[in-house]
């Protein structure tokens, strides 16, 4: 379901690799504790995120259907013009050319209005609909990290972080899932690369299944939308 929520956020450059949960005032006197989570695994199972993605996909389907209807009308008008242009008067050809140009502009404007990555309505809707899920996830991470006395936590599912080794005892995914009420969903999901039995706070090291979720510590206004929709198609061009 979350094929549209790949992050990339090809829209924005990397915002942050770490978020601060506590403040270490004397690093020389005490050890800094770092944990990690799999934010994508959690978001995939959060009811708020699932509901938001369902509504996002409905918007994409509706707007794509409307764009296809416009494209079909343009194709029909273009075919009619090609069939009749040799018997048209100059005035009729000029009128048809203007009509076709207007239809192309209408279609291109609609696609940009709905799907443009720098201001399209879809991305604004995604940011609004996913905001409650991101905020709830952020709060759960802060609570779990504070209880585990961790100073920093980062998202191991981000494309900007390459983990060559993960010790499962520093995995906060399960404790965060417990606070979100989705622990059973996480535990029943297929996991590989599990850590040693009895490791805490997390039982297993989760596998990265979705890349590049936004860091959970970002303020609401800084959280980018989840991902671009399927390519709505190239701008309409005049048929030769």
pLDDT tens digits, residue range 101-148? 999 999 999 999 999 988 899 999 999 999 999 999 999 999 999 999
Structure tokens at 10: 């090809």
Order the strands of the 19-20 sheet from edge to edge.
19-20, 152-155, 34-37
- pLDDT score for 59: 96
For residue 105, give Cα distances in angstroms to 8, 40, 71: 29, 38, 11
- pLDDT score for 7: 42
- pLDDT score for 190: 55
Which of 149 and 200 is assigned the larger pLDDT?
149
The phi-psi region of residue 165 (left if phi > 0; otherwise alpha if psi is between -120 and 50; otherwise beta) is beta
Mean pLDDT of 88-109: 96
Sign of CA dihedral 220, 221, 222, 225: positive
State how beta strands 152-155 and 34-37 pair: parallel
Structure tokens at 217: 């510590």
Structure tokens at 171: 């995995």
Q: pLDDT band for position 189 (50/70/90)?
A: low
Q: pLDDT band for position 169 (50/70/90)?
A: confident
């Amino acid at each position: 379901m979350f094929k549209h929520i790949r992050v990339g956020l090809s829209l924005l450059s990397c915002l942050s690799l770490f978020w601060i949960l506590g403040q270490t005032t004397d690093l020389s006197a005490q050890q800094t504790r770092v944990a990690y989570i799999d934010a994508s695994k959690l978001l995939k199972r959060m009811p708020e995120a699932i509901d938001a993605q369902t509504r996002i996909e409905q918007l994409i389907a509706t707007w794509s259907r409307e764009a296809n209807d416009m494209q079909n009308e343009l194709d029909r008008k273009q075919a009619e013009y090609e069939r009749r242009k040799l018997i048209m008067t100059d005035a009729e050809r000029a009128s048809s050319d203007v009509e076709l140009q207007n239809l192309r502009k209408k279609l291109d404007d609609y696609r940009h209005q709905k799907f443009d990555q720098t201001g399209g309505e879809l991305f604004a809707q995604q940011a609004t609909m996913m905001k409650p899920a991101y905020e709830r996830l952020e709060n759960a991470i802060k609570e779990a990290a504070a209880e585990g006395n961790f100073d920093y936590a980062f998202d191991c599912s981000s494309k900007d972080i390459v983990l060559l080794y993960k010790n499962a005892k520093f995995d906060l995914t399960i404790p965060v899932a417990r606070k979100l009420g989705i622990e059973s969903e996480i535990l029943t999901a297929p996991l590989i690369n599990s850590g040693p039995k009895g490791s805490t706070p997390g039982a297993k090291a989760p596998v990265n299944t979705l890349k590049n979720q936004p860091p959970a510590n970002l303020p609401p206004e800084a959280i980018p939308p989840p991902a671009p929709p399927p390519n709505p198609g190239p701008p309409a061009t005049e048929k030769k």
